């Protein structure tokens, strides 16, 4: 069973964080800041649930530690990557599509929406944190999958950052390291994080219907805000990307296909 009173307190906290972040975005005229706050929503909700729990057992400590590791790493990386850069082109398009009064609209279509999505996806953490059941085999499998995702995502981000830092790679398509086997290895790592997290929650007695959490995150990564959105027009900006698409898996890491470019 879900403690909905505690869950809704977490929702209020995330909406408050979204509101404060929205105010900052108005001051700096850049809604991209929400990317840096996205992962912190999950850490805030988990910390809120832990503070309201009678006692924090080994699973609770593991859940908080894993979410903190993933959350802080991702927030710091995105803040560093976006520092001094103009507003992300995805948000520029959203800004253009929702004029006039985008500033007010962004409170609802960006900040509040992401806060609610994060709350929905993080609900299994409430079951995991409040559970008094001992750690089992499924917990350790989930922990391993979670850590694999964090390592995979972190390595992919580091490889891309190093690639972009070299002037000789200007205009080229990144197809080295993990990016040789997947066009979006960082998203694959992110997906592993949330499936591992669900295994831990399920082991703690989380109801089966909470399977929606990793499914929703997978849907977001593949069809909505991740792969589909990024690749919508990338081949127009980078013609070489088309050939990269033909030989490289979009998501799951696979050996690249043998492909000879047409003359």
The rounded distance, in Å, linking the Cα atoms of 187 and 95 is 25
Same domain as 224, residue 117:
no
Residue located via tokens 């404060």: 20
Across the range 112-120, mean pLDDT stands at 96
59-95 pLDDT per residue, tens? 999 999 999 999 999 999 999 999 999 998 889 989 9
Same domain as 201, residue 90:
no
Same domain as 208, residue 190:
yes
Q: Is pLDDT at 186 greater than 90 in this prediction? A: yes
- Structural domain contains residue 262: no
User: Average model confidence (pLDDT) for the chain?
Assistant: 91
- Structural domain contains residue 167: yes
Same domain as 225, residue 122:
no
Of the residues 132, 154, 189, the one at which a domain ends: 132
- Structural domain contains residue 120: yes
136-161 pLDDT per residue, tens? 999 999 999 999 999 999 999 999 99
The rounded distance, in Å, linking the Cα atoms of 109 and 138 is 37
**Which domain covers residue 18, as residue numbers?**
1-132
What is the dihedral angle through the alpha carbons of 256, 197, 135, 51, rounded to the nearest 10 degrees? Answer: 150
């Amino acid at each position: 069973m879900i403690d909905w009173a505690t869950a809704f307190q977490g929702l209020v906290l995330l909406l408050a964080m979204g509101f404060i972040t929205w105010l900052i975005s108005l001051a700096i005229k850049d809604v991209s800041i929400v990317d840096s706050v996205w992962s912190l929503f999950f850490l805030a909700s988990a910390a809120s649930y832990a503070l309201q729990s009678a006692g924090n057992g080994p699973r609770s400590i593991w859940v908080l530690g894993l979410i903190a590791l993933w959350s802080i790493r991702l927030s710091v990386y995105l803040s560093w990557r976006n520092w001094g850069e103009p507003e992300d082109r995805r948000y520029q398009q959203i800004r253009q599509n929702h004029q006039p009064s985008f500033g007010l609209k962004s409170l609802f279509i960006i900040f509040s929406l992401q806060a609610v999505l994060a709350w929905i996806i993080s609900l299994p953490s409430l079951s995991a944190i409040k559970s008094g059941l001992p750690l089992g085999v499924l917990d350790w499998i989930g922990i391993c999958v979670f850590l694999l995702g964090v390592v995979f995502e972190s390595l992919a981000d580091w490889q891309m950052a190093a690639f972009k830092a070299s002037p000789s790679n200007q205009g080229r398509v990144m197809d080295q390291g993990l990016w040789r086997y997947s066009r979006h290895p960082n998203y694959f790592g992110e997906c592993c994080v949330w499936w591992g997290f669900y295994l831990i929650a399920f082991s703690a007695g989380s109801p089966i219907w909470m399977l929606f959490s990793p499914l929703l995150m997978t849907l977001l990564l593949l069809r909505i805000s991740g792969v589909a959105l990024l690749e919508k027009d990338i081949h127009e900006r980078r013609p070489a990307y088309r050939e990269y698409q033909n030989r490289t898996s979009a998501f799951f890491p696979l050996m690249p296909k043998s492909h000879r470019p047409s003359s």
